[in-house]
Every structure is written in C-alpha cells, then in structure tokens.
Structure 1
C-alpha cells in the first residue's frame, strides 16, 4: 500500500508543478555599468538623473548608461552612504570620510565641513530655513547654519544616541532623528527621545518619512506611525514581509514602499503586498528605496545592484515557472476559470490556482506541437496540432490524425454559434468542417483564397471570415468571396481576425491592420504611426483599446482617439516591450486571449504574459532632455553655453538623452539645426552628426518623447559658430583689400611719378631748347640790329633797326621768364625768391629802395602758381619802381600744405590810383584768378599787394 501511494505521489509530482510567475523587475548591476553591487542610497535629481551611492563609487544613471565617480574624481571616499539634493539643485554626498557637494558636474569639498571628514555621514537634510543637518555613525548630528557655522549635537546634549540613521522635518518645523536608541525630536531647541517604553517595537531605527502629515518610523522590529502622542505598529504578523526595515519611500498617494532584509512590501490601506526573489527581485536584502518621477519604485540591494519595479500589471510564466515549453501558441479559459496554454513542442499546460498540470503526448494528446486551443460551451477543449485534432473532455482525449482527417496540420479551430459543426483551418489544406462525425474539406478549388489558413472568425450574420496567406475569404451560403490588396487590405498575408465591440472586423496582416465595416476596408500601417507592420494578433480590452502583437512587442492602439482626431502629432500607439514587463518581445500568430476578468494573455516565443489593463500605468511624466556630449572631428569639447568651432572641423556630433526609466529604448527625439534650412527631424538614435557646415551661427535644438507620447517640456539647445576659413575672415579680407588698394596706389603713383618725371624732363628740354635756340637767335637778331646801326643807313632804317633790337631784347627778357617758369629745375620757392631778388636788384637798385625777403625755401610750387606769382610780383615791383616814393619793400612768400601767400608791401605814400600802370592791377587780378587765389590791394600805411589761396 505504501509503495502504491509513493508511485501515485511520484506520478502526481511529475504531472503537476507549483504555479509561479515573475513580475516586471528590471535589474542593473556591475555588468550594466554600476560601479558596485552593494547600494546604500538613491535619489533622483530635478534633471531626471538617478544617483546611486554604493560601497565603491558614486553613479549617475540616465536610463541607458552610468557615469561613475570615484575618489580620483574628487570624492572624499569611494564608500557612499547618503545622497541629498538641495533646493538649488546641488547633490550632497555623504561618505565615510565626510561630505562632498556636486554642482554643475564638478565635485566640491566645503571647508566649513572639514570637521566631518572623520565621520561616516548616514543622512543629509535641508530644513525649511535652508540650513543643513548631517547624521553620522557615532558622532551625533552636525548642524550647518546659514552663516556657515558648524555645531554638533551628541547624546550628552539630549540626542537618543550618537549613531543617527535619518532626519526628517514635519509640517510644524519639528526635526525628527532616527537613532540606534530611539526616536529623537528637536522642538524649540529641546530634545526628547521616544523608545520601546513609548510603544516602539525596537529602539534601533533605520528610516523616517513624512506621508500625509504622518510620521512613519522604520525599525528592526517593524513599521510604526505616530498619532496622538502614541505609536501604532505593523509587523510580520500583520503581513509585513520582514520586520527589519531598512528603507522607506512613498508614492504620489502617500502609500509606502518598504525595503527589508527579506524583500519589499507595499503598504496601502492597511494591507501589505510583498515581493521577493520569487516574484522577480534580484536580491531580497534591500538597503535603499526610491520612488521616481515616473511612478516607478527602485530598490537598492545588498549585492544585487539596483532593481526597477514597473508595477504588477504583468505576470509572466515560463518553463522556469512550470510551462512545458516557452513557445506559446494559444490561450483559452474553461468554465471553472482555469487557463489553458498551448505550446509548440511541450503540449498543453493547465494553470490552476496553485499548480501547473501538463497534458502532452504521453497523456494521450495527438501531438506535442500544438497550434491552437478552443473551449466550447460544453467545456470540450479542441486542440489543433501538427499531427491532427484532439478533443479533450472529462480527462479523456479523442484524437483525429492523418488517417481520418483530410489534412493533418490543424492551425486553428472554431466552434461557431450560428452554423453547424466545428471548423478547422489547416496549414496547407484549406478549411475543414467537422459535423456529425464527418469531415468536409474546402480548398482553393472551391474558391478559397489560399490553402494556408491561420484564423477563422464568425460574424454576427453567421458568415465565416477566413484569414489565409492569399488574402481574406468570406464563406456565406456555401459561396466564397475573396478580398486582397486590390480590395484595400494592406497585405495578402493575413494572420488573425477579430470582431470588436461594435461588430467591425479587424484583420492582422504582415503589412499592418485592416478594419472592415459597411463593406469598406480601412488600413492602419506604419505610415499611420504603427510601430511595426507585422501584426500577429489583435485583441480588444474592456476599456476599448486594441492590443496588437508584433515581433517587437505588443502595441496598444487607441482607435477611438485615432479616428476622431485630426491631430497626426498625437500618440495613439504605445509599444509595450520587455522593458515594461513582457516576457518576450516576439509574439506568436493568434496567441492572444481576453479572460473573464478582462485580463489579456499574450503568447510569445519566450513564455506567456498575463496583463491586467486595469493596472496599466500611463507614464504622463515627460522626459527630461539633455545634450550630453559634443564631438568635433572625433574629439570631445566642453559643453559651453556658446561655442566657436574652427573651419577645418567638418564633422560635428551631438549626443543627447531623454531620461525615461520606464522605457529608455523607446524614447523618440525631435531635433533641428537652426540656420541650416532644415526643419524638425525625428529619430530614435541618441546622436546626430553634421558634416561640412557652412560658416555661420547655428543653434542645435532637441526634444524627447517617452513611449506614452509625452514630449519634454523644455528644449535642450546649444548655440555655436562655425568660423570661416582664414581667407574668409574679416581681418584677412581687410588685409587683402588694403593690399589691393596699396598695389593700385603704388601702380598709380608709379605711373604718376613716372609721368611727372617725363614731364619734368620735357620741361627741362623745352626750356633748354627755348634758351639755346630761340633765345640765342633773338639775341643774335638784336646784335645784328646794333651792328647795322653803326653803318651808314638812312634815318628811317636806323629807327627800324633800333626798334628791332629793342623788341628783340624785350622778347628775350620775356622768353627768359617763360624759360625760367618752364624749367623743372626751378620749382622750389627758393628758386622763385632767387628770381624775385634778381629782378628786384635790376629794377630797384638804382632807386635806392631797400627790400627784405621772407619765406619757406623748400616747398615746391606747381608751374602755373610759380609763373603767375612771379608775374604778379614783377607787376608790383614795377609799380613800386615807377609810381612809389618808397624807401623799403617787404616781400613775404609762404607755403602751408596746399595754401600759399605772397605779400609785396612798401612804405610809399602814393595812392592806388597813382600805382596804376596801364592794365597792371587788372593783369594782377587776372593772374590771381588763374591760380584760384584772392588778391588784395591795401593802401593803408603804404601799399600792399597780397595774394592768398586757401585750398579746400
């Protein structure tokens, strides 16, 4: 008897295993970049980064990668015990050797906190006055006031103990300290400590938190809250996973997450929900907890790194939990509420309340490679397999294999409500009707679109709709009507059919979705926002959302919003992947089911996922977006507010991150480069590269969208300038212009000087020719006339000869003036004054009139100026000689830049009218006008002729 009982127990154990499932926990440890797996504290800063303090190093996490900080980076120690972000956004780091402060990615050590460098800082807190408090392991509490004065409070001052674990402040401004010997409060400068005598379960306290104005205390003996000057406590007897609570965090509703030494507990409405390694936690010893901005809870463990819990909306079952095979092909539910899961290779699993029951070929199943399950109203389970059909009823299999079936590969089974019999869809043999023990086959020969059938659905009018690899077939009154791409479906490979709450038919295809209503198809593809075109199944939940299985996860589709809104920028598709809790990303054809509780089941290549849409978490917190790094020609440059980039750097890469821990790999980015003539571009990549940008000013902008369609509130941007090459720089262009102008001026001056030299040479030559040829000829004429006058000639001839001689000499004199003025060797004022003196000596010497010359002898004069000034001067001297009774004459000739002045002044007493010599004064005025000068005649205190020119 005992032996028989043992055999029965062995068989039972072989056929059934305890039911277990894993929840969506995601773990990050050393292999993912965390500096060390022992985590002591965590915070999230206002920019979205998660800071993780470990026993070896500080970590900053953006959902994708960790940045590690060590003592060589400026930390006082690698052993981090506490983290805190102040109101200014600075991160305070408590180590076993004091405190560091991180501002703008720089690690600082405050001189005012130097006394703490021998302390292990377990907690940091900023009170409502902006002052800081530091809890230490053995040195009590340190207080840093607003004047940077540091003071210390120990047990001798009233603290419960010198070992303090945490600090909080309540709404009344009272400070509370968790110590190793009770709970101490500081009110109005007075300390008071509460211990087990006051109702605490244990004096060794670990953590404190204020939730909904209630002080909660975590101890080694359980969880307590303070109310009406007494403590109310919860322990393992009340459902707490373990009494040794290490850390507490609260959610947006004030519910508590507790990290203990044997797992985590969620405390809501007086009840505990517990999580441990069995539910998917990496490690049961939890030192730190943190509830982030997106509503996720993080656990920092002792030896297991950090674990993110995304909620209990997902439950996963795999071979590790009792499934016979991970490739799940179909799910259904019987009238007792038990779930049945078929696998390809492992048979069928019945999931009960406490155990799995396995049905396979050894138990009578026709084949272990199962395609589909269907439960009829009589609780008969129809099982389509690779080798035929099995009907399971009351623990007995009725099998139909290839010897009885027209075609053995039964891909789907339908128990219609309005037509007779059972319909089988086969993989290569069309459809088969099973009625009254007989099978009837319909293939392409009878009008079916294709013999490979993956799904059959009955419409409300009793017609059958058949999904094939050649399109959609409708069987009504024995006649097939086929629909293909030509009729509006996106792809002829149809994988699943679903009739929604409104009666419309949906078709999942290799190219997207098709919705059929009122004789028309509506397609929904990647062009409309579908994350993936390969659609394996479609299901509708109780909230009206559609769930589409793809090879990249499950897509939640809000068709109502999609069909009623014209805003194409809205997010109506949400992709759920392993990051959010699915057991695997690749779904299987037709492997979906909605049970009586409204839970959705998804069959994948890695197991089966049970999803409760009522618990679905919609992450409405937009991601924080940051530009993390800029590379220029492969080299990283500092992230300054304004950058200048040289013209020889042709490749610029911007790396950015939108921080969303719920689904970091699904963050979508929108970016643009202002002043580059490009609009907003979308990408899932976290970097953008630009090459060969033209010189100019640019602004790079980027935004981020999380998987739930929420865009970041701010736009990360950075301004930069691409410098022009040196040949386009203003200074170089200026130099070129100056050089060109200099060359033009040089050429102009060269040819001008050359022309002037040529003119001067010509003047000298003309002057020489006139003097040597014309002058000598006239002189010879005068001499000949004189010679002829010595001869015996008539009186008339003598008079003519005398006139010829006189006129010749007069012409010679005039010619001498002309030659002198033309000759370029006489262009200076010195030459002019010499000429003037020679003339004065000839004219005035006989009249005993004294003269005085004054002037700048080095300035050069133009020929017209020199000639006319000299002739004016001669006229003035002639007038003095003929009409003046002067004794002295002053001659002044001055030159200033382009201005000149000639003054001839005598001390004679005759009036202007007496100075007239024919046309003398008129000639002088005419000559002054020729050189654009003014001439003045002044007869006060003698007589003065003054010629002035003031060049503009």
Structure 2
C-alpha cells in the first residue's frame, strides 16, 4: 500500500505539469475494426476474450482482431447496452430490444424472456441462487428464477425508480439496485430506498461495485459514495474527483483502488486521494461510459465516441512538440542541479523542462546552431552544447560561442568532462577528438592512433582511462597512448554508437551489430543470434537495479544480463524484452546516444518522435500467461470444422493452423512453441500466429501449442488438436484388398486358362492316341486273328493247328483288352454317363447268356479322371464276370453315383453259389488291387446275396 501512496504522491506532483506530458494509452476504434466508437459496456470472459458492447453491434477482441456481430447474426438489436458472463460461462447481452445469450459460440434467444423484447436492458446479474435479474430503462427489474418463471418489480413494489442502471449482490446476500431516484436494497423480500435525504449527493445513480474489503461503492451524478452501515461517506470534485457525473466504477485488483469513469475523464481513487486522467494525458474522449480491470492488470475505458482506451500504467511519460518541445528529433538529455531536465533536438535547439513548464533556447537566443548533438554540465553549472556548427557554452543565461578560428572542427558529436585531466574532451563527426583545457584545443586523430575520426561517445573508467566510441571500433586513451579494439577483439561491429561504464565498472558497447561487454581483454558479443531482438543498437543505459536498456530502431530492449548469463531452458525470466509504442513509448526509432539516467533513477530515451521518461520503480511484470485458442484449420484452401474427428482428404495435405494467444499488454510479442507429433519434428519457436505444413504423409497427427507472454510466463497446459490425413484411395485398405482380389483373380484366371488349355491339349492327345491304337494296333491284331482263322481252315498239322488257334484267341483277347484301354484313354469318354454306357454294353454281352436280369442306376455328366474311370470299369467287369461264373444269381442291381466330391459304386446280386469261391478267387484280389490304385475303399458283403461296394474321392 505504501508503494501506491508513493505513486499517488508522485502523480500529484507530476500532474501540476500536466500540459507537458502524455501517458501510455492505446486506442482501438473503427479504424482498428471496432464496429462503432460509442462503447457502452466491456466484459472479459473466462477464455480471456474482450467483449465490447457498442451502439452499433457487439464485438469480440483477441488483442489482434475484432469479430463483429449484428442482428443478422442473431442479435435482437444492434444497440448493445450491457454484457454479463454467468457461472456457466454463458454470455448474456442486454440490447435495446431484449436479451440474447451466447452458448456454444452461437447467439440465441431465451423464450422465457420474451416479455423483455420491447425493453432496453441496462444491466444483467446472476445472484447466489443462480437466478437472473434484468435492469431496464423504464420497466423496473425482471427476475428469472430457476424454473424459468419471470416476474417484474417496479416503483409499485418499492423500487426507487423504474429506470434501473445496475444490480449487485453484496457478501451478505443483499441485492442492491442503482436507480434514477435513489439506491434500493432488497433484503428478506423487502425493498428499501436511500436518497438524498439519507446522505446521497444525487439520487441519479449510475453504477455500483463492491470493494476488496466488502464496502459498497456508489457512483452517482453528484459524486462517489461508500455505504458504511446506513451512513454514506461521499467524495466530490471538492475532494479531487475529476467530475461528479460518474458513469462507471471498477476495482483495481492489485491495490484495491477504484477506477472511476466520468463525463470529464477518469479518476483513480486510493486512500481517499484522487489521480485524474483526461484527453490531456492521452484519453481519446473525456466521456468514459464503462471501465474494466482485466486479468493482466490493465485498465480499459470505453468512451463515448473515442472507442476503447487501454491504459498501460504510469511508468512511461512522453513529451513531444504537443507538450511544448521545439522539435521531436531528440538527440540528448541531461539534468542540472535544480532537477530541471534539458533536452536537445536536431533542428529546434534545446529545451529546459521543469515544474514551471518548458523553456526553449535556440539560435535566436544566441545558440550557435539549432541542430544540437550533445550536452553536458561542468562543475559550475555551465552547459556545454555540441552542435552541427560548433560549440556553445550556456552560463547564467548567456551563450558563449567559438568561431571557426578558435574551433575549426565544427561538428561536435560527443562531450565529456574529465576530472583526471581537468579538461573537456570533444568528439567530432569526422575530424577526431579535441581536448579543451578552458584555454586551448588539441586535436587527436587516426594519425595518433584513434580508431576512427568520428567519435560518437566518451566515457571514463575508474583507472582514469578515457574510452572513445568511434565508427572504427573503441579506443582507450591511457598514459597518452591509444589502444584500439575492434571486431578482432570480439566486437560485433566496428560501428560503435554508444558506450557505458556499468555499476560494476564494466565497459559496454552499443554497435550496428549488437552489444558487447568488455572483460579486460576481449569483448563478449551479444547479437540477434543470442536472442537480442535487434542488431542496430543506438545507446545503452543501466538503471539502479542493474537492468540494461538498449535503444534500437524497433523500440527499447530491456536486457537482464544476469538472467542471460544464468539462463536455463525452463526459466520464465526472460533476458530480453522489447518495448515499443504499443507498450507506451513515444516512438520506436531511437537516436544514437540519446539516453540518460537522472538523479531520481528515471530513464530518459530520445527518439525521432519525442522523448520518453521511464520510471523503473513502477515497472510491473505481467503474470497472466496468454490464453490460447485455435482459430482455424485450413486444408487445401478450405476451412475444416474443429469439432469431432477431423479427417483431411489426401489431396488437401497442405495444412495451415491459425491460432492466437490472448495477451493485451503486448499482443505482438507473444511467443509460441509448437510441434506436430508423428511428423518427426521437435518443438519450434515462432511469433507468427499461423503454421503451415506441406504434403503431410497419411497418418494420425496431433498439433501441440503453448505460448508465453512478453515477460516469459508460459501457459500451464498446452493446446492440442488431433487429426488424420487420409491416404490416397490407392493406399486405402479397401483398394488394396480389391487389388489383391483382382490379382488373385487374374492369377487364377491365367492358371485356369493354361490348365484348361493343357487339359484340352491332353484330351486331344488322348483322343489321338486312342484313335491311333484303335486304328493301327487294333486293326493289326484283328488282322492277326483273321489270318490265324484263315490258316486254321487249311490243311496243317495238329500241333500247328493248336498254335494257330491260340494265336487267334490271344489276339482277340488282346483286342478286347486294347478296346478297354482305348476307351479309357479317349477323352470323349470322361463322364460318368460314358462309363455307365460302357458298363451297360458289357452287361448286355455277358449276363443275358446266363439268363440273369439286371437293373442299372446312374446317369450323370460329371467327369471322372482317367485312372478312376479305368479302374472302376475293371472292378465292375471283374464283379460281373464273378456273377456270371459263380453266383447262380437271377438278378443284379448296379448303382453308380457321384456328387463332384465322392463316388459310390455298388454291384449286388441275389446269387446262392458257394461262398468260398467268391471270397478266395483271384478276381476279388484284383478288385482290391484296383481299388487301392484309386485310393478307394472296397467292401464285400454277404447279405441276401453278394455285394461289391466301392467308395472314394472323385
């Protein structure tokens, strides 16, 4: 609390010169994407988005972009008056024509609130019972209970007035209503109203809030009040309030102070003291209708016509020509014994800045030239001024100038008073360095060992060495000798624009290639490769805490050397932090050597757009990490919905992720760390808000993302988005399966084709062999049999007669056997039907002679193999021959059947012949042998006759 009292005291003093400075306000209006510049309410939701209610549309802001919502998006009216987020995260919108609610990112209407469709809803509140209250402009308050029953309360029920601006519940569960005719409380079902008669300065109330100590604060048209018991303690313009007509109140969560928006600016109230802000300090409009303290510790102001203003704190103060400076190009700053600050400009002379205002000195007052490079005071408070056209000394209101004959080297770029030599050293632009002993000038140049004749800065170390920053490196003057250091000694660049002796006596250099620290022999270079945000460094300064401040053309770099030296990968303490106009600087482009630390420890930075005063003791760190949101997934030029299982077609493998880490303090300096799991990449760092991947391979991926703010605070949980890149159709399982089936089918087709072709060729060969055997061999044997018969008719000896008869019989027997062989080989006889025809022919030739009848079953076109058909037929012949010879049968039943896999052949007779002849004959052995050849089972059954049964695989 003591710290904030110091702030208040400081501001009370500094605002006596309010016309001479501006504070860091950042403005967002229509030009930035806001739908309308009249802002009625502000809300930061649980996802860190900022919602802005305007007189024309609703806006959602992520620190970078605005998203606008209008009636065509579902709003009941474009004039939005109030915003509220309930315990479930639903966002309620009070319009000029009723209420909307945002659930699941869609704007919806609530049917139970249809009675409010003609009402202007000025405030919305959810009490501890999770019941809702809606304050209207002229219709009192509406109450929505947990059963969606709605009721209305107005003046007739005890409200102070039907025009209600605010609803609030205190820690005791009492509901308070700010009306246009007093403060009404609802306790135990009873209404009671407090008015001017009870101590209010004005009955027209605008806002209510609860302080950190539970105090109820009331903003009225007559000032600020707090309620203590039933007594009001009020504060007005007489107590320092900027204006009595209060519009909004917000509690500063760090200090407990109040930010008060009025019709004439803003007041910060703490310990019964006010600090006031208006357009003179940077507000865009003095009518502040709403205030909001965000989770990063920033305060927002919604104005009437000026959009929204973000106040970044009191640690920066800016001065420009609008605050009285003669020129915005600042080249140097210094301070006299009285605490006045002197500011030199390039083209406008010099200015003295103090509590009395700003005093300008230029060539009209005797200054040798208005284009000033540098300034320094001597021990007698004489101000030495180096300009583009010589040296001036300002003492007791009079300028002493040196003409060209006294100082022929006119461009005085740097100045230093050396106690060791009791002389002044003047660095020139291109002519070397001058030593001035208050009487004579002596010149030292490159010929005497100076690194370069352009001398930008001069410092003196504890050992009385003088150090010169030049465009050729750094020169040390000791014992009347120059020692030069350059890139060969570790400097990142020989173009040195500023040097500094730090609190520990170390020499630092700011160069065109980065900064460097001298260890006594060599320089330790720190460049963008080491994390330095910029390489062109115009100056380097150190505050009382030991933090370095480096001026660049991108802003000011805050450099914590201890954090840099001891950095660990997991440290949240960042060595480098870039501060820009967005954080409060007057301009981003600094000027060479234009920095200064005054007697209070405040730092002054000169730029091309004015001078910034920085108060290190007021610097705060942003402890709120960014809130990360995936905004978009674009695949092949088309946006992909982020809900459910995400599948990306194979022809859309060029994928871009868009995201944002919400950080309002420094939205452009949020750093992201990301990786795509299953892609083979590790964690990557970027400040871009999108990442693109080209031609991802098919597979499952997870995009992981985390972020840190400009002060190094990482968000605790990383954001993940899983998706699948589908394989091309020729790589998918169904296509591969179809291809395999097709290949197998093709192989099977080819195999069958060649198998059938081979079978056809084999069958043709069989037919040809059968024909050849029948025609050639059969004819020859028949011819032999006929010749033997012919010879038998001749008169031959009996022994020869027997031989001829045997030859004839044997030839006919061979012809018969050959006929069976030819029949079995012939491919035209491969079916079961062909076999049965053959069998019937044989039966007809054998059994009728024995007067044996038969019945034959079996007629199919299924094919049988050659071996199977041949052996079945021979078994059949053997069985018929046995029946004819040995059975004494009168009837035979023959059955032959096949189903494509199995076959059965049965020959059954009703014979009664001697059983031993049937069982032990050679014929039965032959049948068993032939059955074995075809892997068939053969059985002989004596049951009402005799049966030969053969079964096997077809």
Band the TM-score falls in, shorter-chain normalisation: over 0.9
Structure 1 residue 851, shift from structure 2 partner: 2.7
Corresponding residue to 2:517 among 510, 515, 522: 515
Q: Which residue of 1 aligns with 2:462?
A: 460
Report if aligned partners of 1:92, 1:102 keep a CA contact under 8 Å in 2.
yes
Q: Comparing 790-799 with 847-856, which one deviates more in the overlay?
A: 847-856
Instruction: Name the residue aligned to 1:217.
Output: 218
In structure 2, the residue matched to 1:816 is: 819
Give the 3 Å change call, closer, same or farther, for CA 856–157 of structure 1 in structure 2: farther
Where do 1:529-548 residues align within 5 Å? 529-548=531-550
Secondary structure (helix, strand or coil) at the match of 1:118 reads coil
Are the counterparts in 2 of residues 911 and 939 from structure 1 also a CA contact under 8 Å?
Answer: no
Aligned to 1:504: 506
2:434 to 432, 435, 442: 432
Could you tell me which of 832, 837, 840 is aligned with 2:835? 832
User: What is residue 884 of structure 1 aligned with on the other side?
Assistant: 887
Structure-to-structure mapping, 1:296-335, within 5 angstroms: 296-335=298-337
Residue equivalent to 2:413 = 411
Q: Which residue of 1 aligns with 2:11?
A: none
Q: 1:199 to 1:19 in 2, by over 3 A?
A: closer
Q: Matched residues in 2 for 1:840 and 1:895: separation?
A: 21
CA distance in 1 between partners of 2:859 and 2:224 (Å): 111
Kept after mapping to 2: 8 A contact 1:18/1:354:
no
In the other structure, the counterpart of 2:269 is 267
Deviation at residue 512 of structure 1 after TM alignment: 1.2
**Who is 1:158 aligned against?**
158
Shift of 1:568: 8.3
TM-score, scaled to structure 1: 0.95
Which segment is superposed worse, 850-859 or 557-566? 850-859
* Residue 922 to residue 150, structure 1, CA distance change in 2 (3 Å): farther
**Greater shift in the superposed pair: 83-92 or 848-857:** 848-857
SS of the aligned residue for 1:536 comes to strand
For 1:367 and 1:198, the matched residues in 2 are separated by: 67
CA distance in 2, matches of 1:156, 1:47: 41
Deviates more, 1:725-734 or 1:247-256: 725-734
Taking a change above 3 Å as real, the CA distance of residues 898 and 244 of structure 1, as seen in their structure-2 partners, is: same
Q: For 1:648, what is the secondary structure of its paired residue?
A: helix
Give CA deviations for 1:303-357 in whole Å, capped at 9, x if unaligned.
1111111011111000011000001111111111111111111111100103101
1:873 is matched with: 876
Residue of structure 2 equivalent to 1:106: 106
How far is 1:607 from its partner? 0.4
The match for 1:295 among 287, 294, 297 is 297
Match of 1:115 in 2: 115
- Give, in angstroms, the shift of residue 97 of structure 1: 1.4
Q: Is the 8 A contact 2:18 2:280 kept in 1?
A: no
> In 2, are the aligned partners of 1:382 and 1:389 still within 8 Å (CA)?
yes
Structure 2 residue 910 is matched with structure 1 residue 923: no
> Once the 2 structures are TM-superposed, how far is the Cα of residue 856 of structure 1 from its aligned partner?
5.1
Alpha-carbon contact 1:246-1:261 (below 8 Å) kept: yes
1:806 corresponds to which residue? 809
Cα deviations by residue, 1:648-699 (Å, 9 ceiling, x for unpaired): 3353322222211111222222232333322222222222233333333333
Are the aligned partners of 1:642 and 1:718 in contact in 2 as well (CA < 8 Å)? Answer: no
Answer yes or no: is 1:581 the counterpart of 2:584. yes
- For residues 193-212 of structure 1, what are the structure 2 equivalents within 5 Å? 193-212=193-212
The structure 2 residue matched to 1:377, chosen from 365, 379, 386, is: 379
Find the counterpart in structure 2 of residue 179 from structure 1: 179
Report deviation, 1:488.
1.5
CA shift, 1:406, in A, is 4.0
Give distance in 2, aligned partners of 1:830 and 1:847: 26
Partners of 1:946 and 1:289 in 2: CA distance: 109
Shift in Å at residue 19 of structure 1?
Answer: 4.3
Counterpart of 2:662 in structure 1 is 659
Output the CA distance in 1 between the equivalents of 2:784 and 2:158: 140
The 1-side partners of 2:133 and 2:890 are apart by 111
Instruction: State which of 559, 562, 565 in structure 1 corresponds to 2:564.
Output: 562
SS of the residue corresponding to residue 345 of structure 1 reads coil
Q: Contact between 2:331 and 2:593, CA under 8 Å: does it hold in 1? A: yes
- Counterpart-to-counterpart distance in 2, 1:481 and 1:103: 72
Report the count of equivalent residues: 935
One of 777, 785, 789 as aligned partner of 1:786: 789
1:721 counterpart residue number:
724
The Cα shift of 1:298 comes to 0.8
TM-score (norm: length of structure 2): 0.95
Match of 1:70 in 2: 70
Q: Which moved more, 1:154-163 or 1:218-227?
A: 154-163
Q: Distance in 2 between matches of 1:338 and 1:404?
A: 31
Partner of 2:13: none
Against the structure 1 CA distance between its residues 817 and 278, is the aligned structure 2 distance closer, same or farther, given a 3 Å change threshold? same
Q: In 2 relative to 1, CA 919–33 (structure 1 residues): closer, same or farther, beyond 3 Å?
A: same
Deviates more, 1:363-372 or 1:786-795: 786-795
The residue that corresponds to 2:240 in the other structure is 239
TM-aligned CA deviation for residue 276 of structure 1: 0.4
Q: CA deviation at 1:111?
A: 2.2
Partner of 1:279: 281
Residue 90 of structure 2 is aligned to residue 96 of structure 1: no
Q: Where do 5+ consecutive residues of structure 2 fail to align? A: 1-16
The match for 1:10 is none
Q: Distance in 2 between matches of 1:839 and 1:18?
A: 136
Q: Which moved more, 1:255-264 or 1:638-647?
A: 638-647
Residue of 625, 630, 638 corresponding to 2:628: 625
Once residues 384 and 795 of structure 1 are traced to their aligned partners in structure 2, the CA distance between those partners, rounded to angstroms, is 164
Which string of whole-angstrom CA distances, capped at 9 and with x for unpartnered residues, describes residues 603-628 of structure 1? 11100011101111211211112221
Deviates more, 1:787-796 or 1:808-817: 787-796
Does 823-832 or 150-159 show the bigger shift?
150-159
Cα distance, 1:908–1:177 mapped onto 2, change above 3 Å? farther
| Residue in structure 1 matched with residue 9 of structure 2 by the alignment | none
Contact 1:375/1:381 (CA < 8 Å) preserved in 2?
A: yes
Q: Deviations over 1:528-551 (max 9, x none)?
A: 111111111111111111111111
Shift of 1:366: 1.3
Structure-1 separation of matches of 2:856 and 2:189: 106
What SS class does the counterpart of residue 289 from structure 1 fall into? strand
Correspondence 1:50 to 2:53: no
Is residue 689 of structure 2 the alignment partner of residue 686 of structure 1?
yes
Counterpart for residue 389 of structure 1:
391
Considering only aligned residues, what root-mean-square deviation do their CA atoms show, in Å?
2.0
- 1:14 is matched with which residue? none
Structure-2 change in CA distance of 1:332 and 1:898 (3 Å): same
Alignment partners' CA distance in 2, 1:889 and 1:185? 121
1:129 maps to 129
Residue 415 of structure 1: SS of its match in structure 2? strand
Secondary structure, aligned partner of 2:100? strand
Matched with 2:145 is 145
SS in 2 for 1:53: strand
Q: Residues of 2 paired with 1:847 and 1:949: CA distance? A: 31
Deviation at 1:18, TM superposition (A): 8.3
Assess if the C-alpha contact under 8 Å between 1:667 and 1:704 holds in 2. Answer: yes
Distance in 1 between residues matched to 2:351 and 2:622, nearest whole Å: 34
Q: For residue 748 of structure 2, what is the aligned residue in structure 1?
A: 745
Q: CA deviation at 1:267?
A: 1.4
Which whole-Å CA distance do the structure 1 matches of 2:894 and 2:223 have between them? 123
How far apart are 1:849 and its partner, in Å? 3.2
Query: Is 2:651 aligned against 1:648?
Result: yes
2: distance between equivalents of 1:849 and 1:86?
109
The 1:590/1:510 distance shift into structure 2, 3 A limit, reads same
Which string of whole-angstrom CA distances, capped at 9 and with x for unpartnered residues, describes residues 167-191 of structure 1?
A: 2222233322222222222333333
Shift of 1:50: 0.9
Q: Is 1:596 the equivalent of 2:599?
A: yes
Report if aligned partners of 1:366, 1:401 keep a CA contact under 8 Å in 2: no
SS in 1 for 2:651: coil
CA offsets 1:898-936 (integer angstroms, 9 cap, x no match): 222222223335576331464322222221222122222
Whole-angstrom CA distance in 2 between matches of 1:944 and 1:240: 129
Which residues of structure 1 form unaligned runs of 5+?
1-16
8 A Cα contact 2:669 2:687, kept in partner: yes
